[in-house]
Amino acid sequence: MENDNCNHPKNSGFTIPTKVSRAAKSDSTIVNIGGVEFGGSAIVIIAGPCAVESREQLFETSRSVKDGGAHVIRGGAFKPRSSPYSFQGMGEEGLKLLREISNETGLPFVTEVMDTRQVEMVAEYADMIQIGSRNMQNFPLLKEAGMCSKPVLLKRGMMATIEEFLLAAEYILYHGNDQVILCERGIRTFETSTRNTLDLSAVPMLKSRTHLPVIVDPSHGTGLRWMVPSMAKAAVAVGADGLIIEVHNHPEEALCDGQQSLNIDEFFRLMTDLKKIAQAIDRNI
Amino acid sequence: MENDNCNHPKNSGFTIPTKVSRAAKSDSTIVNIGGVEFGGSAIVIIAGPCAVESREQLFETSRSVKDGGAHVIRGGAFKPRSSPYSFQGMGEEGLKLLREISNETGLPFVTEVMDTRQVEMVAEYADMIQIGSRNMQNFPLLKEAGMCSKPVLLKRGMMATIEEFLLAAEYILYHGNDQVILCERGIRTFETSTRNTLDLSAVPMLKSRTHLPVIVDPSHGTGLRWMVPSMAKAAVAVGADGLIIEVHNHPEEALCDGQQSLNIDEFFRLMTDLKKIAQAIDRNI
Amino acid sequence: MENDNCNHPKNSGFTIPTKVSRAAKSDSTIVNIGGVEFGGSAIVIIAGPCAVESREQLFETSRSVKDGGAHVIRGGAFKPRSSPYSFQGMGEEGLKLLREISNETGLPFVTEVMDTRQVEMVAEYADMIQIGSRNMQNFPLLKEAGMCSKPVLLKRGMMATIEEFLLAAEYILYHGNDQVILCERGIRTFETSTRNTLDLSAVPMLKSRTHLPVIVDPSHGTGLRWMVPSMAKAAVAVGADGLIIEVHNHPEEALCDGQQSLNIDEFFRLMTDLKKIAQAIDRNI
Amino acid sequence: MENDNCNHPKNSGFTIPTKVSRAAKSDSTIVNIGGVEFGGSAIVIIAGPCAVESREQLFETSRSVKDGGAHVIRGGAFKPRSSPYSFQGMGEEGLKLLREISNETGLPFVTEVMDTRQVEMVAEYADMIQIGSRNMQNFPLLKEAGMCSKPVLLKRGMMATIEEFLLAAEYILYHGNDQVILCERGIRTFETSTRNTLDLSAVPMLKSRTHLPVIVDPSHGTGLRWMVPSMAKAAVAVGADGLIIEVHNHPEEALCDGQQSLNIDEFFRLMTDLKKIAQAIDRNI
């Protein structure tokens, strides 16, 4: 019987797990979200508010990010909040709004699921389910996502090594779902001037180890609205397959993460800039 | 409507949440686990194997730690493992074994629960349920623990600030359960010679902020069997209300964390030493 | 009399020091190194070996990086090594070789100084002196650099906050030298797959706070040769005013940092790619 | 010729350097400071103000710590301050005052040296010279300390691994001085509620690797006066050979680090408590 210590990252050598590794599958995996492909030469932009707050807020923002060139909508219905006194999300009502605006705009949407009991329900509404940073090592949730019929966006834990991140993805593939997108979203360090430290070296590191698509979240990675465009450009230059960006029609009124959300004008300008960077590396948005 | 950014610890001031704070309740809370009291002048010792592996292993180890002076048994039936290829625990069968040896020895037991769907079942067997490091911000699980009738041992996330730790406990109290014990178990830092960095300053810091009992896990905190006794003594000297220590009848054959488990002889010697330290600070074990 | 705690970054608010701040001088400072300007619209490339090892190695590498389009040569004569048993550098003999190849190629050079007693001597040979990561808070050295007639390349300490980095630069300006270039070179985090974590968010953060030029060192920032090009491109995209890159004519034979040095062909290819990124953000190399 | 990468701690195995290792010398080294022995069974207490501010402040504090049972006086004449605008110390005048009060009380004193050019001068006044955290990898300074006739107190860098710390000490022994005491003083982590995270596991780790004495600085390790006693007791319990504690006759008026300095009464009470802990582990103070 095995006698391992694989919870012990510091002492274990960096070993690439079987199913997620390039060794197991050298071709890059293309993950298809309602017709939008991640992992090919095109760079995919996911945009929308942190949380679904109201029909008006979600619909106005979603229509705008579509006009700006986004390919996928994001929005949280179940919110993981450090404090029980913070806004916890609209729940299933939020999922219905997301489904409605997704149908109207023709853009697929991704939304977070936090509870094993809700995976099935969320997957009925969503085109892709997201597992957030705080749940990257919630193994029962990873297992449920592995048995789910929808693609999974897996965010790196804020203190997870690259190896642990790949092993978390391995849980999903192991349980049967190979439609997984990895997302670097900033790690926790001693530096306090940004919310997290966006580790862009994770992108080439992950792309060298795994065939799965890798995207970047510059909004949580910096926590600072004015810094999002710079880091988004760097993420494209470094080789990310996509970005997930928080956009809000009125950031100053947001119930969650307003200080890191772009407004509509900022998002439009950013898309123009990103296209130039993509072109410079022979890709397109 | 509130507009907070409480997921943003770096930018937020350190604010003590309501129910867990000393401001809300200046008297220290005594948590009673099957007749054993945490948070009083006596220091409580929880001991046992990382994982329940077999009847023989669990029973032999449990009888030995009782003889050595332990007050509570620990043992994992559901194991959070970084890799899907590692031993995942015996499940409900493990819980039954724990209940049986607990009844035989008269020592209550604590065991980890990882899935919201299992809280009720685990709580039927266990005297105290444990929420592990990786689930410290699994908010649905905290909510279930808050609605559970058994005490909760909440371990600090390896990347969690003191403030986030207290807010996680607040979720449990907020949902109705005020029988919570906090456990410092090491944080992740740049240092690689130990598995984690056991942050003993967390003990006085937590005790100054909250009325809840605070214990220390020197086994996960160091990851090194030979270092566990030194750090256990330091934990008592710094003011911890208890310790949770991994002990295995045959550490070299353990399916999980063998390299950080004490053998029976080491545990006996440690208990003798700990009593002297406790006496030196006018407490007892 | 003042009663400050400015060694206490966590508790102090982020206060921009006087002389380095944008508030003190809103125009970006242009630092001129032997005719090469840092801080304007052109992006400047510093390249060369980690250490000067021999005339042949230095001269061959220097001529090649010139052919590849580098603007400034780098090379260490005094090497800060963790172990006393490692190669410590050629000393003044190395400086003479650097001066000779600098004169031949017409490219100015930068080299590290570690000792207050050597600042004057090094400054006689070099076009710019470098203060390395491990000396970022060597205050007597900063003071000497402040009284020196040559520009200073100040590298961020691997454990330094943005605020501490700016305060270190402030020491140099305070003592009379305003020709300072800041260099992000990776910070120390829990992640072990790269040598350091290159914090590209430091570039926009620093540029927003100070008028001084900011460059990036992707070689030390990653420690991995194959990853240097990706991170170099990202550094240009994020807004760096320059790059400092380790190049060696035979990396596999290098006495220091061979595993992170580009060979000549790799450097040539990278320069081609960087020019495209620079163009995409309306700058040039 | 060697081709090492010993500046690359993450990739190198943990190798014990020659002269400082237990393998080289299994007996614990006793370092004698003006008659006071570090590294034997007695635990040694160094106490005094962060900085020498005036004759009255230094003399009053020194006489008091002697009455409280301290064995060695500490006090800074040259202060490493993050900002050039902070109090930089009294310089040689401070050394003279330290020498005077040391002669009067009969207690030897330790003081920091920051500049290679001052090692000789400081060593003429002091009984032991200190190399501070920020200079742990100031290699020319380590070399000078290695050629100095006085013992050296080497503080761990706030982001230095155990291996790097031992290699820094190796520089001193390599250059001829084997009278070195190591000091754990807190490392930098993500946690912000304490100034640093005092890594008490460093004590048993260092004691297992090296024959040199190891002491602990709970003042810088926590940055919080009220927490110093708890952590000091833990440091004795974990096996430290001594403590270095900031004490000030009027902490609220201190020019440096007042918020982490004990007042005289607190120091007296602490000494009483420490003696009990020392006794419990069969040592004495």
3-state SS record for chain D: CCCECCCCCCCCCCCCCCCCECCCCCCCCCEEECCEEECCCECEEEEECCECCCHHHHHHHHHHHHHHCCCEEECECCCCCCCCCCCCCCCHHHHHHHHHHHHHHCCCEEEECCCHHHHHHHHHHCCEEEECHHHCCCHHHHHHHHCCCCCEEEECCCCCCHHHHHHHHHHHHHCCCCCEEEEECCECCCCCCCCCECCCCHHHHHHHHECCCEEECHHHHHCCHHHHHHHHHHHHHHCCCEEEEEECCCHHHCCECHHHCECHHHHHHHHHHHHHHHHHCCCEC
- pLDDT at residue B259, as a whole number: 92
**What length is written for chain B?**
285
- Between CA A238 and CA A201 the distance in angstroms is 8
pLDDT in tens, C45-79: 999 999 999 999 999 999 999 999 999 999 999 99
- Between CA B58 and CA B46 the distance in angstroms is 14
Nearest residue, CB atoms, B116 vs list A117, A168, A170:
A117
- Between CA B100 and CA B94 the distance in angstroms is 10
Nearest residue, CB atoms, B280 vs list D187, D199, D280:
D280
Smallest Cα distance from B197 to chain C, Å: 11
Residues contacting residue B230 through CB under 8 Å, at least 6 positions apart: D201, D203, D204, D237, D238, D239
Domain that holds residue B245: 54-280
User: What count of other Cβ atoms lies within 10 Å of the Cβ of residue B133?
Assistant: 24
Chain C residues in contact with D82 (beta carbon < 8 A): 6-7, 9, 137, 164, 167-168
Dihedral over alpha carbons D261, D263, D268, D274 (to 10 degrees): -20
In total, the C-beta contacts within 8 angstroms joining chain B to chain C are 6
Query: A118 is written with which tokens?
Result: 């809700």
Chain D residues in contact with A188 (beta carbon < 8 A): 190
Residues contacting residue C171 through CB under 8 Å, at least 6 positions apart: C139, C142, C143, C146, D84
- pLDDT at residue C18, as a whole number: 86
Subunits touching B (CB < 8 Å, at least 3 pairs)? A, C, D
pLDDT in tens, C75-121: 999 999 988 998 899 999 999 999 999 999 999 999 999 999 999 99
- Secondary structure (DSSP) of B186-213: -B--S--SSSSB--TTHHHHHHHHBSS-
Of the candidates B30, B31, B29, B106, which has an alpha carbon nearest to the alpha carbon of residue B71?
B106
> Which amino acid type is present at position B32?
N
Contact B184, B203 (CB under 8 A): yes
- Assess if residue B79 is contained within a domain: yes
- Between CA B160 and CA B138 the distance in angstroms is 12
What does DSSP assign to residue C28? P
- Between CA C233 and CA C246 the distance in angstroms is 15
Q: Among A1, A2, A7, A257, which would you mutate to test the B interface (most chain B Cβ atoms within 10 Å of its Cβ)? A: A7
Of the candidates B195, B109, B202, B115, which has an alpha carbon nearest to the alpha carbon of residue B155?
B202
* B86: closest chain A residue by CA: A4
Chain A residues in contact with B86 (beta carbon < 8 A): 2, 4, 6-7
User: What count of other Cβ atoms lies within 10 Å of the Cβ of residue D120?
Assistant: 13
* C208/A201 Cβ within 8 A: no
Chain A residues in contact with C233 (beta carbon < 8 A): 237-238, 281
- Assess if residue C258 is contained within a domain: yes
Smallest Cα distance from A12 to chain D, Å: 12
Average pLDDT, chain C: 93
* B139/A81 Cβ within 8 A: yes
- Regions of chain D where pLDDT drops below 70: 1-17
Nearest residue, CB atoms, C195 vs list D2, D8, D139:
D8
Chain C contact residues (CB < 8 Å to B): 188-190, 192
* A190/D188 Cβ within 8 A: yes
**What length is written for chain D?**
285
> Which amino acid type is present at position C153?
L
- Assess if residue A269 is contained within a domain: yes
At residue A246, the 3 state secondary structure works out as: strand
Residue given tokens 């942050």 in the structure block: B199
Smallest Cα distance from B157 to chain C, Å: 15
Q: Quick check: C12 pLDDT over 90?
A: no
Smallest Cα distance from C53 to chain D, Å: 11
- Between CA B154 and CA B202 the distance in angstroms is 14
User: What count of other Cβ atoms lies within 10 Å of the Cβ of residue D93?
Assistant: 12
- pLDDT at residue A257, as a whole number: 82
ipTM of the complex as predicted? 0.93
Q: Which helix (H) or strand (E) holds B246?
A: strand B242-246
Helix, strand, coil % in chain B, rounded to nearest 5 = 40, 20, 45
- Between CA A36 and CA A110 the distance in angstroms is 12
Smallest Cα distance from C109 to chain A, Å: 28
Residue given tokens 């292993």 in the structure block: B57
- Secondary structure (DSSP) of C138-162: -HHHHHHHHT-SS-EEEEPPTT--H
Query: C216 is written with which tokens?
Result: 């990036």
- Between CA A196 and CA A199 the distance in angstroms is 9
Subunits touching A (CB < 8 Å, at least 3 pairs)? B, C, D
- Assess if residue B158 is contained within a domain: yes
Chain D residues in contact with A189 (beta carbon < 8 A): 190
- Regions of chain B where pLDDT drops below 70: 1-17
Of the candidates A259, A234, D3, which has an alpha carbon nearest to the alpha carbon of residue C184?
A234
Contact C58, C101 (CB under 8 A): yes
- Between CA C99 and CA C135 the distance in angstroms is 24
- Between CA D179 and CA B255 the distance in angstroms is 45
Dihedral over alpha carbons A187, A190, A196, A202 (to 10 degrees): -30
- pLDDT at residue D3, as a whole number: 33
**What length is written for chain A?**
285
Q: Which helix (H) or strand (E) holds A231?
A: helix A228-238
- Between CA C74 and CA C220 the distance in angstroms is 14
- Between CA A110 and CA A104 the distance in angstroms is 15
Q: What is the CATH number of the domain that holds D101?
A: 3.20.20.70
Nearest residue, CB atoms, B233 vs list D161, D226, D238:
D238
Rounded to an integer, the average pLDDT of A103-116 is 98
Q: Among B82, B167, B257, which would you mutate to test the A interface (most chain A Cβ atoms within 10 Å of its Cβ)? A: B82
Chain D residues in contact with C169 (beta carbon < 8 A): none
- Assess if residue D32 is contained within a domain: no
D192 by Cβ neighbours in 10 Å (0-12 / 13-18 / 19+) ranks as middle
- pLDDT at residue C13, as a whole number: 42
Of the candidates D151, D200, D154, which has an alpha carbon nearest to the alpha carbon of residue D176?
D151
Q: Among C156, C161, C191, C225, which would you mutate to test the A interface (most chain A Cβ atoms within 10 Å of its Cβ)? A: C191
A252 by Cβ neighbours in 10 Å (0-12 / 13-18 / 19+) ranks as exposed
Query: B1 is written with which tokens?
Result: 């409507």
At residue A44, the 3 state secondary structure works out as: strand
In total, the C-beta contacts within 8 angstroms joining chain A to chain D are 8
Chain A residues in contact with C234 (beta carbon < 8 A): 200, 234-235, 237-238
- Between CA D43 and CA D25 the distance in angstroms is 22
- Between CA C4 and CA D254 the distance in angstroms is 9
Residues of chain A with pLDDT > 70, as a percent, come to: 94
* B195: closest chain C residue by CA: C190
- pLDDT at residue D158, as a whole number: 95
- Assess if residue D137 is contained within a domain: yes
* B80: closest chain A residue by CA: A139
- pLDDT at residue C257, as a whole number: 82
Rounded to an integer, the average pLDDT of C202-211 is 97
Contact B17, B170 (CB under 8 A): yes
Contact C175, C147 (CB under 8 A): yes
User: What count of other Cβ atoms lies within 10 Å of the Cβ of residue B100?
Assistant: 15
* A190/D189 Cβ within 8 A: yes
Angle between helices B162-174 and B139-146 (to 10 degrees): 50
- pLDDT at residue C258, as a whole number: 85
* C192/B189 Cβ within 8 A: no
Q: How many domains does chain C have?
A: 1
- Assess if residue B86 is contained within a domain: yes
**β-strand partners of A109:** A73
Nearest residue, CB atoms, B174 vs list A84, A138, A259:
A84
- Between CA A51 and CA C211 the distance in angstroms is 37
Q: Quick check: A209 pLDDT over 90?
A: yes
Angle between helices A202-209 and A162-174 (to 10 degrees): 40
- Assess if residue D59 is contained within a domain: yes
Chain C residues in contact with D120 (beta carbon < 8 A): none
> Which amino acid type is present at position D253?
E
* B192: closest chain C residue by CA: C190
pLDDT in tens, C150-199: 999 999 999 999 999 999 999 999 999 999 999 999 999 999 999 999 99
